[in-house]
Each structure stands twice: as C-alpha cells, then as structure tokens.
Structure 1
C-alpha cells in the first residue's frame, strides 16, 4: 500500500480507529456476557484481574526498574479490607465463630465501590511506608526485603483472629465482581497507566530504570519517584485483590503466599518487561492456558503409556516456557514496545504518513 497521509490525516485516522475499536470492544463484552457459559465467564473475569495485577507489577519492575516480590502482600491487604467493609453484620457473625470480630468492625457495611477504593488506598499507604523504608536498597536486596514484607503480612493475617478470622478466612462473600466490574476496572486502570507513562512522571520512572545516576544528575528526585511508583503499584494491587476476593467469594491467608507473586511475575516477563500491551496480552493468554492445560494434571494416555496423573505438571509447562523465553528472548513478547496504529501502517495494513506534514502526497 503506497498511499501516504498527512499528519492531520493520520491523527484523524487514529482517533477514528480508536473510537471504532472501543465500540467493537464494548460490543464484544455484551456478546460474551450473553453467549458464554458461567465457567467461561469466570475465566474471562479472571483475565481482567490478572491484567490489573500484571500492569501494577510492571509499573515497578518494568517502567521503574525495581525488583519487587511483595505483590501478594498488597493483594491480601486490598482483599481483606474490601471484604470486611462490604460484608453485612450477619455474614461477619457467621464467619467469626472462634472469636468475635472487633465491635468497631461489626456494624460497618459499605457498598462495593467505596470498599474497593479504600482497600486500594490502604494497600497504597502500606506500600508508601514500605517504600520509604526499603527503596534505598537495590536489586536482590530490595527483592528479599519486599518478599519478607509479603510474608509478614500473611502471618499477621493468620494471627489477627478478631480482624481477619485468622486461618479460617472469610467465606460467603457477595459476588460483586461481575464481568463489567472486572473489565471496567481493567480498562480504567490501563488508561490511567497509559497517561501516567506518557506524562513527566512516566518519563522520570523510565529514566530511573535506564540510568539512576544520570536521572539524579538531571535533577530528578530519585527516591521520591521510586516511592511514588511503588505506592501507585501497591494501590492497584490492592484493587485487584479486592476484585479477586469478591470473584472467589472466599479468601484465606494461604491464597497470598509468595508463589502468587511469581505467577504475576511470569505474566510480566512473558509479555515484556516495560510494555503495557505485552502485559495485557500475556495476562489473557496465560490465564486461558492455565485452565486449558489443566488436563495435564490428570491421567494422560500417551499411546505407549498411561500416567496416573501428575499434579502440578501444567506448571512444569509454564516453567519450561519461562526458561525458553529467558534464554532465547529475554525481552519477552513485546519487549518495551507498545501497540499503535502506526505499527499496522508500517507493515502495510494501513496508509502511511507522509514525510512532510500538511502536504498531500500523490
């Protein structure tokens, strides 16, 4: 396709294509909600939650260059906060059988949205406190510190019987996380991160990732920018935790062990560290494959032999996939690149823009 467009034509084309893609996406959500069975819709909602988790971790690891392994802890804070605030007094009394819940929390009941936002804000506040204390560390030391924090949160949740119901967890939560809540939150958070990365703050994050010393020499307050990135990421993880709690309708501390963080890290690495598009695509693909490959954990007829079932075999597949990516394509699926309409123009699927803006080209 040899047709070239002026700069104004390109901007107009991009706006129309974006609007068209948004309309098509909204139509697909309506279609999926009416066409798919309940199990498929559960997987579809889980894709949206994993998109939020992957984007929040990528903000730290990919765009700011900090190696954090404490995401499961922030998820737990958001999940428990949202669950406790949104449960009715009757549900709390039915859950807290060994020890009664704190009286101040018994009669507190809020709608889902305020509970979700408060859970995210509390996770963000804890992330801010942790960031102020630990973000002077680097690399492996920071990873160990954040991993230790995540385990501290899990131990606290297990032993705070009058607040979290301890190891028994919380059951019978209202299923507030519908398809619209899950994907609506994912879309809003994606747009927020796109605008954030394109802003001066996003450029500061990237400069810290690329060369911290040079960024500081250019006048960037490195520590404060790190803390800001860590706080935003923690808040988003808390929101994802709240959505997950009301998606599963039951939570307990064992769901937020450090392996949960590695599941999210797998998605980020496969999609591309430093790519919003890569995290979205990878989150959807990995979530679907997690369920599609569940048969690997059961008995398998290989033709020449029949296995009795090897629990966890599907995770061996993802481990091998991660090794292959690390060895042969360390940048992941997208690297640091992002999808754009111009990328389609470069491969000939859309008209290209002319070299001189404001002048038509034959």
Structure 2
C-alpha cells in the first residue's frame, strides 16, 4: 500500500513537472520545436491505438490511416464556421446538415473518435473473423476505400481539394491533455481483468475460447477502442496542421505508426511512448536527406522519399535483430527505477 501511494504521488509530480515544461516550451522554444513536441503527442495517441489492436489484441491491422481520415474529416467539418465552408466548397456546395453544423472543439474531437469506432465495429464484424495476413490486407483495403471515397464525394469532403483553413485549436495543452487521459485509460484497461483476457486471446486464441472467454466480443471491443484513439489522433492532427486532403491518408501514414509500435515493443505502453518520441524527431530530422547537399566538391541532389527508405530499412533491421523492440513487453515503473538506483548505489 505504501508503494502504491508513493507511485501515485510520483505520477502526479511527474505530470506536474511535465506541465511546467510545456508552459516553458510555449514561451521559450521556437515554433518549429513546439511543432515537433505537438507531433510527438499526436503520434503517441495514434501509436497507442494501434498497439491496443495489434500489440495487446493480436490483430494485425493496417487500416489506421482510414480511421484517422474519418476522425479528421468529422472534426474539421464540425469546427469550420458555416461562412468559411461556403468559401471552401468551390466544386460543389456542402450538403446539409454539414453546411450548418458546428460544435465545440472538445465535442468535435470526441465525435471524430466515436464515428471512427462505429466504422470499426461495422467493418470489424465481418473481417475480424479473418486472421493474420488476411486481416491486415482487409483493413488496408478499408483504409484505401476511405481515401478513394473522400476523393470522390466533393459535396462532403471537397474532393481532392481537401479542407483548408481549419481552426487551429490543437495546441500543446489540448494534445497532451488528450494524450494523458488516453494513456491513463489504457494503463487501467490493460492491467484490468479485461486486459488480461485480451492478452490471453493474443497469446493463444484456442485456449482463451476453452476458458470461456468471448473471443469475438473482446476483439470487436479492442478494435473499436483502438480505432477511437486513431480517430481522436486524426482529429487533433487536422486541427493542428489546419489543412487535410485525401492524399495525406495513404498507407505510408499507417506504416509510420506501425513503425512506432514495432520499434517500441508490441504490448508495451512505455515502449510505444519512447519510440513515438524518437521516431517523430527522426522523421523531422531526416528531412535533410531529401534536400540537396554540397559536401566540398561533391554535390548530392535531393531524393524525395529517401527518409521513408531509411525507415523501411530500419524496420527490417529491427525485425531481424531486435524483434521485441526497445522494451519488448516490459513496462518501466517507479519500482524498477528505484530498484535500479538501489543496485547502482550497492555497486558503489
């Protein structure tokens, strides 16, 4: 009990210290650095959703980009002012009731996540009976369908032109507020009896069925909750970058999130958070390899897409030499930290 109380106090202190860091960052870091910190929060939310589906539920899903698109378009249509909608929709006027609907940012983000979860349930009922690679192909097909549909219904999505001038509500406080709430909910979920049942299904589905676990219901629920986080992440991203179009939601986006989950460790929340931060920073830093460089007498032309080549190679090396990722299935706890410090002092 004393250890539990100590851990709760330390968690609250850690959140308070991080809040002070965000307050300091807003006033002292450059706009580009603040942008990266915001992207870390959004990408971590997305990676947590995929880790719940794949890492804890054992469902190989490649449809994250589709659920992000649903959340992004839902949120954008709800927070755009009606007058601005009239100006944006040039090809065709926006259909009613989308033309008059407007909601507060919090409600719009949650509704974006909820609609993504509803779509997850609707497609999950037929496709979650599949397994392994077949499930991955089916979910990837769903994401591509969402992108193509968004490109071809200009009266709702504005087609290939996308939505521009989306109100920029998603700042450090909103993004990290959603992240911390999602992180707390996921920790409680995976450490509950529900989480234990979900991990049992992941490890051995037949044994879980023999124990009386309703495997299909657990899969549907986990798929919906992970998709809800994808929708929330997509909504925050739309408001943060203030412009969206169908080309943004190609498979590359899912690949980036999958890279974070695999690199961190399937089934590790700590690993997902660490890998999301590292990969988000590297994705920005590696833009340099896509720009022309001059090294003395040697001129190297920029190669568009080279950073994704580097990340693809990195994913291959991780799978070959460090399949368990940074943390494997382990979590970093205060007890681990104090135990390590105690052993370190003992060696001294």
Name the TM-score class by shorter chain.
over 0.9
1:149 corresponds in structure 2 to 142
Q: Give unmatched runs, 5+ long, in structure 1.
A: 1-7, 353-362
**Distance in 1 between the 2:249 and 2:33 partners?**
24
**Distance in 1 between the 2:311 and 2:317 partners?**
10
2:234 corresponds in structure 1 to 241
Secondary structure of 1:337 counterpart: coil
Q: Residue 252 of structure 2: which of 250, 256, 259 is its match?
A: 259
**Distance in 1 between the 2:106 and 2:307 partners?**
36
Do residues 222 (structure 1) and 215 (structure 2) align?
A: yes
Secondary structure of 1:244 counterpart: helix
Q: Give unmatched runs, 5+ long, in structure 2.
A: none
Q: Residue 135 of structure 1: which of 106, 128, 131 is its match?
A: 128
Q: Residue 201 of structure 2: which of 196, 199, 208 is its match?
A: 208
Please give the residue correspondences for 1:165-180 in structure 2 after superposition, counting only pairs within 5 Å. 165-180=158-173
**Distance in 1 between the 2:3 and 2:195 partners?**
25
**Distance in 2 between the 1:245 and 1:263 partners?**
17
Do residues 84 (structure 1) and 77 (structure 2) align?
A: yes
Contact 1:345 1:351 in 2 (8 A): no
1:118 corresponds in structure 2 to 111
Shift of the 189–306 alpha-carbon distance from structure 1 to 2, 3 Å rule, reads: same
Do residues 307 (structure 1) and 300 (structure 2) align?
A: yes
1:358 corresponds in structure 2 to none
Do residues 55 (structure 1) and 44 (structure 2) align?
A: no
**Aligned-pair CA distance for 1:257:** 0.9
**Distance in 1 between the 2:95 and 2:5 partners?**
58
**Aligned-pair CA distance for 1:24:** 1.2
Q: Report the structure number with the largest CA radius of gyration.
A: 1
Contact 1:124 1:234 in 2 (8 A): yes
Secondary structure of 1:173 counterpart: coil
1:3 corresponds in structure 2 to none
Runs of 4+ in 1 over 6 A off after TM superposition: none
Bigger relative contact order (CA 8 A; separation at least 6): 1
**Aligned-pair CA distance for 1:293:** 1.8
Q: Residue 17 of structure 2: which of 11, 24, 40 is its match?
A: 24
Secondary structure of 1:306 counterpart: strand
**Distance in 1 between the 2:59 and 2:103 partners?**
35
1:5 corresponds in structure 2 to none
**Aligned-pair CA distance for 1:9:** 3.9
2:174 corresponds in structure 1 to 181
CA RMSD of aligned residues (A): 1.6
**Distance in 1 between the 2:30 and 2:341 partners?**
38
Contact 1:75 1:240 in 2 (8 A): yes
Q: Residue 108 of structure 1: which of 96, 101, 108 is its match?
A: 101
**Aligned-pair CA distance for 1:22:** 2.0
**Distance in 1 between the 2:164 and 2:175 partners?**
20
Secondary structure of 2:231 counterpart: helix
**Distance in 2 between the 1:99 and 1:152 partners?**
21
**Distance in 2 between the 1:304 and 1:266 partners?**
36
Do residues 340 (structure 1) and 333 (structure 2) align?
A: yes
Shift of the 160–35 alpha-carbon distance from structure 1 to 2, 3 Å rule, reads: same
**Distance in 1 between the 2:276 and 2:313 partners?**
17
**Distance in 2 between the 1:304 and 1:212 partners?**
61
| TM-score relative to the length of structure 1 | 0.92
CA shift digits 1:152-177 (9 cap, x unpaired): 11111111111111111111110011
Secondary structure of 2:102 counterpart: coil
**Distance in 2 between the 1:349 and 1:305 partners?**
53
**Distance in 1 between the 2:5 and 2:232 partners?**
35
**Aligned-pair CA distance for 1:351:** 10
Q: Residue 195 of structure 1: which of 180, 183, 188 is its match?
A: 188
Contact 1:344 1:350 in 2 (8 A): no
Secondary structure of 1:104 counterpart: coil
